[in-house]
Amino acid sequence: MSDGHWVPPTVLLTVDLVIFTLRESELHVLLIERGVDPYRGALALPGGFLNHEQEDLLPAAHRELAEEAGLGPDRLHLEQLGIYGMPGRDPRGRVVSVAYLAITPRLPEPLAGTDAAEASWTPVAQALSGEAPLAFDHQQILTDGVERAREKLERSALATAFCGPTFTIAELQAVYEAVWGVRLDPRNFYRKVQSVDGFIVPAGPTRKTDGGRPARLFRSGPRTTLHPPMTRPQDLPGKEKT
């Protein structure tokens, strides 16, 4: 401990991104096919090393987001998910990864301007199924990201980040149903989101088509935290006593 010659070990830092979106009412995550060697050919979360010693973590995450998904910093939620530093997780040495969670509306498919053209949206259920194991410990990171997103939907207005600038209440409901993996009653959902003041606000005189009556359009309101929270059904991992 007081060895005058001891020097602390250094590590390599990477930033990895869990980028979620919704497609066909299903939660998708952006994965890339690795073109270089550890885990070459395997699917992995987008990410990479810090560029230089002075690069801050959040900007690095935004840089990766732009490089690998073509997504600018606008309108984009990005939050720290956790740090993954188990020795041996990366065969190249001691590599510690800072994971960030990002959420984006559905994009025009091509991911134009993307550095890694092999980037593709993959259903989360498929990515976690194990049929094509993810590189490194990215399965764990993705699992944690899903759980974090589920929690965020309960207490924050983040669900609107999955939607475009305007959206119907049914579309917002589809977000909750996809992320939580449940079915919700449209009438109760309708009243609930309307009753949370500032969550969503009417947009324009508005209408839109589907197959039935046109729905009003909304945009996300100023409120970022939800009180009372949206309640997730099956939220009862605890009635074992019955």
Partner DNA sequence: TAAATAGTGTCTGTAAGACACTATTGA
Partner DNA sequence: TCAATAGTGTCTTACAGACACTATTTA
What sign for the dihedral angle of Cα 67, 94, 142, 222? negative
By CB under 7 A, tell whether 203 contacts DNA.
no
Which of 79, 118, 131, 154 is the catalytic position? 118
On whether the CB atoms of residues 24 and 123 are closer than 8 A, the answer is no
Of 217, 231, 125, 126, nearest to 166 by C-alpha is 217
Shortest distance (Å) from residue 57 CB to a copy of itself: 5
Which partner from the list a copy of itself, DNA, none does 52 bind, CB cut-off 5 to 8 Å by kind? a copy of itself
Q: Which residues pair with 218 in a beta bridge?
A: 167, 202
Pattern 153-172, DNA, x by CB under 7 A: ---------------xxx--
Q: Which is nearer to DNA, 92 or 213 (CB)?
A: 213
Cis peptide before 228 (omega within 30 of 0): yes
CA 93 to chain centre: 28
By CB under 8 A, tell whether 9 contacts a copy of itself.
yes
Q: Which is nearer to a copy of itself, 106 or 232 (CB)?
A: 232
Of 10, 65, 37, 39, nearest to 138 by C-alpha is 39
- 37, 54, 74, 131: which one contacts a copy of itself (CB under 8 A)? 54
Shortest distance (Å) from residue 179 CB to DNA: 15
Look up 79 and say whether it is catalytic. Answer: no
- 7, 231, 238, 240: which one contacts DNA (CB under 7 A)? 231
- 195, 222, 238, 240: which one contacts DNA (CB under 7 A)? 195
State both tokens at 104: 């984006």
By CB under 7 A, tell whether 213 contacts DNA.
yes
CA 79 to chain centre: 9
- 5, 92, 187, 241: which one contacts DNA (CB under 7 A)? 187
DSSP string, 210-223: SSSS----EEE-S-
DSSP state of 81: E
State both tokens at 169: 């209440």
- Footprint of a copy of itself (CB under 8 A): 1, 8-13, 49-57, 67, 80, 82-83, 85-87, 93-94, 96, 98, 115, 197-198, 223, 225, 227, 235-241
